[in-house]
Amino acid sequence: MPRAANDVMQSILFSAVLDAVAALKAGSGGLPNQLLRDVQAIHPNVTFADLPKPLQDAIVESTRAAFSQLLKEGYAVGPRDQVQPTRPLDRVPERERRGPPPGDRRGPPRGPGRGPRPTGGKPGGGGKPGGGGKPRG
């Protein structure tokens, strides 16, 4: 059974993060202060070139592995104009659908007895004009 794109991407990202942490640990040479400096050097404005070399290598390898994993799972990967979008399969056959056609936004047709209520406030129009209720007095 094919895995959902969400599951595939989650496993890819999880693996990439674990690989990056392992690369940071390996790049520090087992020195806690160096590891701390490498981690603190990572911030929202850091560029790829600013990262430590072992982390750069881990990111490159994780990227390759991510594309391979997506292709292995059957997802198309490529430039937008080269990848031909496919329409998802319709899970409900055409003959079993209910309701108005997709372009008709008027809603379901109103059957007998479903029109506007007559004046008088009671179904069937048996009430007096003016709303009925207790007489004032």
Spatial separation of the C-alpha atoms in residues 101 and 109, rounded to whole Å: 12
Backbone phi, then psi, for 60, in 5-degree steps? -60, -45
Specify whether the CB–CB gap between 121 and 127 falls below 8 A. Answer: yes
For CA atoms 118, 124, 125, 128, the dihedral sign is negative
Spatial separation of the C-alpha atoms in residues 11 and 9, rounded to whole Å: 5
- pLDDT of 98 reads 65
Spatial separation of the C-alpha atoms in residues 74 and 77, rounded to whole Å: 9
Question: Tens of pLDDT along 12-71?
Answer: 899 999 999 999 998 888 888 989 998 898 889 999 999 888 889 999 999 999 988 888
Specify whether the CB–CB gap between 93 and 83 falls below 8 A. Answer: no
Question: Tens of pLDDT along 63-121?
Answer: 999 988 888 888 877 777 776 666 666 566 566 656 666 665 665 666 665 566 666 55
Which residues lie closer than 8 Å to 18 by C-beta, 6 or more apart?
Answer: none
Nearest CA to 19 out of 49, 60, 50, 47 is that of 60
